[in-house]
Structure 1
Amino acid sequence: MTGLLPWLEWAGVAVFALTGALVAARKQMDPFGFALLGTVTGIGGGTLRDILLGIRPVPWILDPTVVVICLVVSLAAFFTAHLFEREGRAKAILWADALGLALFTVTGTAKALGADAPAISAVMLGVVTATFGGIIRDILAGDVPLALRRDIYVTAALAGAIVFVLANRLLSPEVDDLLGFAVVFLIRGLAIARGWSLPQYGGRG
């Protein structure tokens, strides 16, 4: 896992940056809007996680690789977003977001465990890493964040983070990333494909 962690982090950053850029396309933003939404989506969750872990300065300040990835992906999407069919763009955003959610759940939980955070804290930091960037993206775009809708979203990240920690502690660090990723993507993917959602508060008579 240690050797894969940077690559998984970069992959998650790229995928989440793409979701931010696709939202910018849906909102018909200019290149700056693409870059802004892509960047805050790509690095928002990891930045909050590192701040909560007490990492100073935040790693991307000294090594801006992830920022460069966000900018490249976002600006590339500005010229290619039209390739996504208009009616299929929302689905593309959801599936790309599901992939980013799974990747960031794994990397966030792994980084928290690597910083000697207790298991429960590592689970929560994995969820924060996976969801916070998307929350910022949706707020800036004027949408209700996915994490606050009926969609099974945070629940998927929470389940994957728990499985990751259990696999790391009880099985082997060799399989924790694979199992955590699979659980998140499977739950979120089924929710997208089958329209699963959590119960919604309907008031009381």
Structure 2
Amino acid sequence: MSTLGQWLDLIGVAASAVAGALVAGRRQFDWLGVAVIAGVTAIGGGTVRDLLLDRPVFWIANPSYLQAALAATAFTLLYARRRRIPERVLETTDALGLALFGIAGARIAVGLGHDGVIAVVMGVITGSFGGLLRDVLCNDIPMIFRQGQFYATAIILGCSLYVLLIGQGLETNLAAGAGMLAILGLRIAAIVWNLRLPVFRLPPEDR
């Protein structure tokens, strides 16, 4: 992996850890609970991806990712004791984690020779499964399953754009940047304008 790619992954880990810590803080977990939830959010999706792709788990192969998650968690705990952290910080850090992790997962799958569909699936797993595990542990409906949330859809579209661009011969880093911006932009737009997918409802049964 390039140095730039590793730095982006570290930023994604830190951003996701902050988001996880804030979710745990809103539920008044103790410091150990906050660390667990932040860690699961930061490394959960990448761990599932690596196990499915039968490759070394990224944070075991390179402990700097775990260190980044712990450092971001500690910073959040200390900062939140002095200042109130707005809800939008949680939404923004979560969106940033989606963008960075989603494309990271797709890049890894493409690098291993998998086709575009698998790359998109791995992008979704990497980007959203940490948050899914976080929400399950916090006894919440996972964000990916909440009614109409424009969440995993942003990853699907951004990773599809990435796969399409590299298929057209665009340089990998440029295609990755376009995919990340697409995911981040779509997720933030969904938050600001409450963009939602149509909800599937069955008609009531006749009695």
- Global fold match (TM > 0.5): yes
Instruction: Provide Cα deviations, 1:88-137, integer angstroms capped at 9, x if missing partner.
Output: 32x32111111110111111111111111111101110111000000011
Aligned residue in 1 for 2:114? 117
Aligned residue in 2 for 1:54? 54
Alignment match of 2:165 (pick from 164, 167, 178): 167
Contact 1:21 1:34 in 2 (8 A): yes
Contact 1:45 1:132 in 2 (8 A): yes
| Matching of residues 51-90 of structure 1 within 5 Å | 51-56=51-56, 58-82=57-81, 83-85=83-85, 88-89=86-87
Aligned residue in 2 for 1:18? 18
Amino acid at match of 1:80: Y
Which whole-Å CA distance do the structure 2 matches of 1:36 and 1:71 have between them?
10
Aligned residue in 2 for 1:151? 149
| Matching of residues 31-50 of structure 1 within 5 Å | 31-50=31-50
Larger displacement relative to structure 2 (110-119 or 8-17): 110-119
Contact 2:46 2:58 in 1 (8 A): no
Amino acid at match of 1:28: Q
Which whole-Å CA distance do the structure 2 matches of 1:201 and 1:84 have between them?
38
Aligned residue in 2 for 1:178? 177
Identity of aligned residues (%): 36
Which whole-Å CA distance do the structure 1 matches of 2:129 and 2:63 have between them?
20
- Aligned-residue offset at 1:172: 2.4
Aligned residue in 2 for 1:189? 188
CA RMSD of aligned residues (A): 1.5
- Aligned-residue offset at 1:54: 0.7
Contact 2:40 2:134 in 1 (8 A): yes
Amino acid at match of 2:50: D
- When residues 174 and 61 of structure 1 are mapped into structure 2, their CA distance, relative to the original with a 3 A threshold, is closer
Which whole-Å CA distance do the structure 2 matches of 1:24 and 1:198 have between them?
27
- Aligned-residue offset at 1:201: 3.0
Which whole-Å CA distance do the structure 1 matches of 2:142 and 2:80 have between them?
22
Which whole-Å CA distance do the structure 2 matches of 1:174 and 1:94 have between them?
26
Which whole-Å CA distance do the structure 1 matches of 2:196 and 2:68 have between them?
32
Aligned residue in 2 for 1:142? 139
TM-score, normalised on structure 1? Answer: 0.93
Amino acid at match of 1:153: Y
Instruction: Provide Cα deviations, 1:152-199, integer angstroms capped at 9, x if missing partner.
Output: 001000000001111112122241111101110111111000011112
> Where does the alignment leave 5 or more consecutive residues of structure 1 unmatched?
none
Amino acid at match of 1:60: W
